[in-house]
Structure 1
Amino acid sequence: MEMKINVSVLIKVLALQCLAVLCASQDFDFFYFVQQWPGSYCDTNKGCCYPKTGKPAADFGIHGLWPNYKDGSYPSNCDPQAPFNPSEIRDLSSRIQKDWPTLACPSGDGLAFWEHEWTKHGTCSESVLDQHDYFATALSLKNQSNLLRSLKTAGIIPNGGYYSLESIKSAIKDGMGYTPYIECNVDESGNSQLYQVYLCVDSNGSSLIECPVFPHGKCGSTIEFPTF
């Protein structure tokens, strides 16, 4: 009887270990690479706080690199055994502070933001990107996709003016070569404004692709591009 109990326990332990491995390396179909306009983040009832390093540049900042499935669902929090380790991205610190700034209150150094993105999303891409590669890949994609330049080339500038949603999409597609998804939020007066831009990336994190599926949500036909 003693041996049977031990074997049973062993089987359960092995099964749990296998499940943990599967969760940590589960497949996904593509990434959403999400960038946000800081002026829209701040121009809401909730407001914002600049990071301890000071006011970020008036440019789109990285929100995250998110594994997704083609059916519109996504994995999250995949590996509790892979905690965020700031020392692994120390060589990227100046670039992350510049291109991936936190605007949450109270003012912070960004570590809580980056830890959240790694824990919720990054751990689900460990089969192709370790922690350092995850952040380095997002920074590389930021360099590839100069959203503000594409918009300014089309005469769309962050001056508090209003632009058609279609013109914003077209400007980004002309600059990037791929169709974006535009997410809006609402300012204190209830106006729809350009908040986040989603581009899609292949499952290796190496190349932009056309999005297999877009998130749910809706913007007005004309949206504000606020100053920052």
Structure 2
Amino acid sequence: MESKFSFFITLLVLQYLTVVCVSQDFDFFYFVQQWPGSYCDSDKNSCCYPTTGKPAADFGIHGLWPNYNDGSYPQNCDSSNPFDESKISDLISNMSTNWPTLACPSSSGETFWSHEWDKHGTCSESVFDQHGYFETALGLKQQTNLLQALQTAGINPGGRTQSLENIKDAIKQGTGHTPWIECNQDSSKNSQLYQVYLCVDNSGSNIIECPVFPKGGKCGSEIEFPPF
């Protein structure tokens, strides 16, 4: 009887450990920032300023996304822990500035942030609670400062065509790591700088070289950096 009981307890422990391992089963994060001028000057997106007003002409956070080394990713991992704005009340002002929404209709940003937490943040619960997830992303934006890196290299928004390699080199010089650049198209079908991906280790602590780059949104060798 004792042997059967011990076996049962062992089985429960193994099941628990399996659940914990699964919840931690991602390899790295993509930290994604977008240029608002390209979001708004797109042949696909309609653009509405948030209810807090027009955002600054700076890169804004899109998200912090758990990913696997094979390029796939987990999503919508825990429906029992939905976004709760009260848990990040002290971050709202910072998020309105650095993580603004440009989707229509105009809103405060809560719908955008809720989507990012529910789809991506819940898959990182082994590392972060809600507050930690958003706080970490805000810290990464300050750490990377993409616009400053580009401007230091003499690359400024304004619609001029820029070399893709020069943009990559400027961001690598500024952050210490190789970015992935995603482009979209303006209404005239010109390729333009849209999103910048950097990779972060699975603790959310350190920027790393990306184990794998995304496959979509490829750019030409010359791209536009539109004003906002």
Q: Give the TM-score taking structure 2 as reference length.
A: 0.90
SS of residue paired to 1:204: coil
- Contact 1:71/1:213, CA 8 A, preserved across alignment: yes
> What is the one-letter code of the residue matched to 1:30?
F
CA distance in 2, matches of 1:31, 1:151: 23
Q: Which moved more, 1:43-52 or 1:147-156?
A: 43-52
- Name the structure 1 match of 2:3: none
Structure 2 residue 149 is the aligned partner of structure 1 residue 143: no
Point out where structure 1 has 5 or more consecutive residues left out of the alignment: 1-13
Mapping 1:1-228, distance limit 5 Å: 21=19, 25-45=23-43, 46-217=45-216, 218-228=218-228
SS of residue paired to 2:56: coil
> What is the one-letter code of the residue matched to 2:131?
H
- Contact 1:24/1:79, CA 8 A, preserved across alignment: no
SS of residue paired to 2:181: strand
Give how far 1:25 is off. Answer: 1.9
Aligned residues: 213
> What is the one-letter code of the residue matched to 2:120?
H
- Contact 1:118/1:131, CA 8 A, preserved across alignment: yes
CA offsets 1:159-182 (integer angstroms, 9 cap, x no match)? 111101000000000010000000
CA distance in 2, matches of 1:108, 1:29: 33
CA offsets 1:127-174 (integer angstroms, 9 cap, x no match)? 011110000000000010000000001111001111010000000000
- Contact 1:24/1:123, CA 8 A, preserved across alignment: no
Give how far 1:44 is off. Answer: 1.4
Q: Give the TM-score taking structure 1 as reference length.
A: 0.90
Give how far 1:27 is off. Answer: 1.3
Give how far 1:203 is off. Answer: 0.4
- Contact 1:23/1:79, CA 8 A, preserved across alignment: no
SS of residue paired to 1:62: strand
Give how far 1:196 is off. Answer: 0.1
CA distance in 2, matches of 1:21, 1:50: 42
Give how far 1:21 is off. Answer: 5.0
> What is the one-letter code of the residue matched to 1:41?
Y
Give how far 1:26 is off. Answer: 3.9
SS of residue paired to 2:149: helix
